[in-house]
Amino acid sequence: MTSADIPGYDLFTGLEWGSTSAVPRGRMRAKTHRKGSMPKVQSEIYVRPPWERMMRFHNLVQNQEYPNCTTLAREFEVSVRTIKRDLDFMKYRMDLPLKFDGQRNGYHYTRPVEQFPQLPISEAEVFALLVAHKAIAQYHGTPFERPLEMAFRKLTGQLDRSVQFSLGNLDEVLSFRPFAPEDADLETFQIITRGLKERRELRFLYRNLGADKAHWRQVRPYHVACVDNHWYLFAFDVRRDAMRTFALTRLRAPEITQEHFAVPKKFNLNEYLKGSFNVFKGGDDYEVVIDFDSWAADLIRGRRWHSSQELTDLPSRQIRLRMRLNSIEEAERWVLSWGTHATVVRPQALAARLSRTAADLHERYSRLGPEAENLENSRAQVLPALGSLNSMTKSAAPAQRAKKATA
């Protein structure tokens, strides 16, 4: 038998390569009973992946315990045929010197084997491993940090020296630098994730954004997510009878109650935040249209700012972004971050908010007096933009007055 005669199958799922079967190799279906006999309930036995079985077989052989197909099939609750397929793979694909000893009724190695063949890995997979390792930085201070680091070390520990050398070289030229990463409180995080896992209501003190005092809240935790380097809890507020979003940095003294609950089947975080620009969920419906100059256009292109976004090229290498949002509060802060490189086309409500903010900023910085000499250039840039926003606000005023008169 040659290696070409061995049917290829995934070492982790047991599925044959190119197979259309939904049942992996090594997973046994209940047999169909003959007519007239009492039918049994259809069942499946889920087993461990082939790689684990092969490692077990290798260790038994190394310890000179002379395992055979029958004993291993019984241990893993699979068929003898499945174990024979594993052995063929070990002999003809991994080139392991396995031989059956009739007197001992088991297999042994005909020559010394220092270690089990390393997990085959491609260059692209090496790069993906490194990216995953760098991404662990986002979980600093959470219960995920230590397990992720340990899992990465276990994975890389199975690689040969050449792959480890490649990882070392790439590590010097690749990094993640999350902007203003949040320091999550480990104890708080653990209590919240425990409540999520056990489906039990939580009670905690929470301070709303900008508020002085914190108040007790009792919620049913549905989901925890890291959005824009901030950790949030999405939960059903029992007293308010509505969904709420809680920033973990403003949450303290969490307690797990004895009240159990069930997450509604229809709840889906992606659907829940579908119309949000970030995490704030409103109750309106806005068509947000923003034009960006050529400088900002290069930064806007090639990124997914929102699931509903549409990008349209404009003359002079400018670009127009169109989105559908249920609130404009977060969009306002985002537009302001672009300075004079962004111009709101609509909605009018967003343009008016930006106009008021620009006026307040101009008044605040104009008070600096002699110390503000360097601000004159920026003032010359802000005033035209302020004027264009004011003209948009004024142009909409007659229509608004007419609408009120009609009402």
How many folded domains does the chain comprise? 4
Q: Please tell me which residue, 13 or 71, carries the higher pLDDT value.
A: 71
Q: Domain for residue 114, yes or no?
A: no
Q: Is the pLDDT assigned to residue 192 strictly greater than 60?
A: yes
**Residue 40: inside a domain, yes or no?**
yes
Q: Are 26 and 84 members of one domain? A: yes
Is the pLDDT confidence value at 294 over 60?
yes
Residue 356 pLDDT more than 70? yes
Average pLDDT rounded to a whole number, residues 142-147: 69
Residue 38 pLDDT exceeds 80: no
Q: In the listed set 79, 109, 139, which residue is the last one of a domain according to the structure?
A: 109
Residue 93 lies in a domain: yes
Mean pLDDT of 55-82: 90
Q: Residue 261 pLDDT more than 90?
A: yes
Query: Which band of pLDDT confidence, cut at 50, 70 and 90, is reported for residue 162?
Result: low
Residue 116 lies in a domain: no
Position 333 confidence tier, pLDDT thresholds 50, 70, 90: very high
Lowest average pLDDT, out of 22-36, 183-197, 203-217, 300-314, goes to 22-36
Based on the fold, state whether residues 64 and 159 are members of the same structural domain: no
Residue 213 domain flag? yes
Question: Phi/psi of residue 35, each to 5°?
Answer: -60, 135
Domain residue limits at 200: 186-272
The predicted model gives 11-21 an average pLDDT of 44
- Average pLDDT of span 372-388: 55
Q: What is the pTM of this model?
A: 0.56
**201 in the same domain as 167:** no
Kindly state whether residue 35 falls inside one of the protein's structural domains: yes
70 and 18 belong to one structural domain:
yes
Mark whether 94 and 149 lie in a shared domain: no
Q: How high is the pLDDT of residue 141?
A: 63
- Counting residues of the chain whose pLDDT is more than 90, the rounded percentage is 45
Q: Taking each helix axis as running N to C, give the angle between helix 69-76 and helix 50-62, from 0 to 180 degrees, rounded to the nearest 10.
A: 130
Q: In terms of domains, do 232 and 136 share one?
A: no
Give yes or no: residues 264 and 291 share one domain.
no
pLDDT surpassing 70 at residue 322: yes
pLDDT exceeds cutoff 60 at 167: no
Tell whether the model's pLDDT for residue 271 goes beyond 50: yes
pLDDT digits (tens, 9 = 90+) for 101-118: 999 999 999 999 887 776
Residue 16 vs residues 82, 219, 401: alpha-carbon distances, Å: 12, 46, 71
Query: Is there a single domain that holds both residue 167 and residue 256?
Result: no
pLDDT at 295 over 90: yes
Q: Residue 231 — pLDDT band, cuts 50, 70, 90?
A: confident
105 and 128 in a single domain? The answer is: no
User: What integer best gives the mean pLDDT of the chain?
Assistant: 77
Side-chain half-sphere of 104: how many Cα atoms within 13 Å? 12
Same domain, 251 and 292: no
Adjacent-strand bridge partners of 245: 234
Confidence of residue 17 (pLDDT cuts 50, 70, 90): very low
Does some domain include residue 118?
no
* 195 shares a domain with 145: no
Give the residue with greater pLDDT, 187 vs 143.
187
Residue 292 vs residue 23, higher pLDDT? 292
Residue 278 lies in a domain: no
pLDDT at 118: 63
pLDDT of 230 > 90? The answer is: no
Query: Taking residues 69-97, what's their average pLDDT?
Result: 89
Position 92 scores a pLDDT of 87
Q: Domain holding 227: CATH number?
A: 2.30.30
Rounded to an integer, the average pLDDT of 262-273 is: 92
Tell me, what's the pLDDT at 109?
A: 92
Same domain? For 399 and 317 the reply is: yes
Residue 379 pLDDT greater than 60, yes or no: no
Residue at 37: amino acid letter: S
